[in-house]
Structures are given as C-alpha cells and as structure tokens.
Amino acid sequence: MIIKTIAKGFILNKYTYLRNPWNWLDFVVITSGYATIGMEVGNLAGLRTFRVLRALKTISILPGLKTIINALLHSFKQLAEVMTLTIFCLMVFALFALQVYKGELRNKCVLKMDDHNASYETWF
C-alpha cells in the first residue's frame, strides 16, 4: 500500500491510490489493523472484525475473479427488481388464497384432556 501510494499519489490526481474502489477496501483493512495495534484505549474488538476482509484483497490480484465480482455487483439492481416482482406476485397469490379458503383449513382434530379413554401417549 505504501509503495503504491508513493508511486501513484494518494488521492488528488487521476490514477492515484484511492481512485480505485478496490484500494478503498485495502485502505480500510490496513488502517483498522493499525488502529487496533496502535491504540490500546477501550475495547476495539469490533475493529478486529475487519481483519476478515483481508481475504478479499486477493480479488484485486486475480483478474478473472475481479471480473466475476464486478459483474455480480453490477447485477444487484436487476436482482432487486426481480425480487420485488417475485414478492409482489407472492403477496397477490397469498391474498387470493386467503379469500378462496376463508378459514376452511381451521378444521382439525384437537385433543381434549377431559376424555378419560384417551391419553397423551396414544395421540403422539
């Protein structure tokens, strides 16, 4: 990270370090790691969870995996639209079923405990 920052710059020019969104992840992970090491004030265990994100740094190294992840991220809008349509259709069919059956499915066998010939074990 330091070598990239020295070579390209930090944020001001066109091809600097923080202009790439994959480097944002690297920056957050490394900064949170240094914060947990450098500051011993209070409980910073929550920041240690960012160490799990270090495995995601390999995405920026492998170009094929980077292409797949970018395609998934760009398809979230379309997936959200499909899920909205699916939930809407399920709600319509649920309302239709409520109107068609109108409590018909409430008829069921109920164990009465005052019946002396039946016991709990014979029912289950």
Place of tokens 């059956």: 101
Dihedral sign (CA 104, 105, 106, 111): positive
Burial 86-102 (b: 16+ CB within 10 A, else e): eeeeeeeeeeeeeeeee
Q: What residue segments make up the domains of the chain, in order of their start?
A: 2-123
Query: How would you class 50 by CB atoms within 10 Å of its CB: exposed for 0-12, middle for 13-18, buried for 19 or more?
Result: middle
Which pLDDT score, from 0 to 100, does residue 38 have? 67
Residue 15 has what pLDDT? 77
- Spell out the per-residue pLDDT of the chain, length 124, in tens: 677 777 777 777 777 878 877 778 778 877 777 777 766 656 666 666 767 777 777 777 788 888 888 898 899 989 999 999 999 999 999 999 989 888 777 766 766 666 556 566 666 6
Widest pairwise Cα distance in the chain: 88
- C-alpha separations of 111 from 19, 117, 122, 123, 124 in Å: 69, 12, 10, 8, 10
Angle at the Cα of 58 from the Cα atoms of 70 and 21, rounded to 5 degrees: 45
pLDDT at position 121 is 64
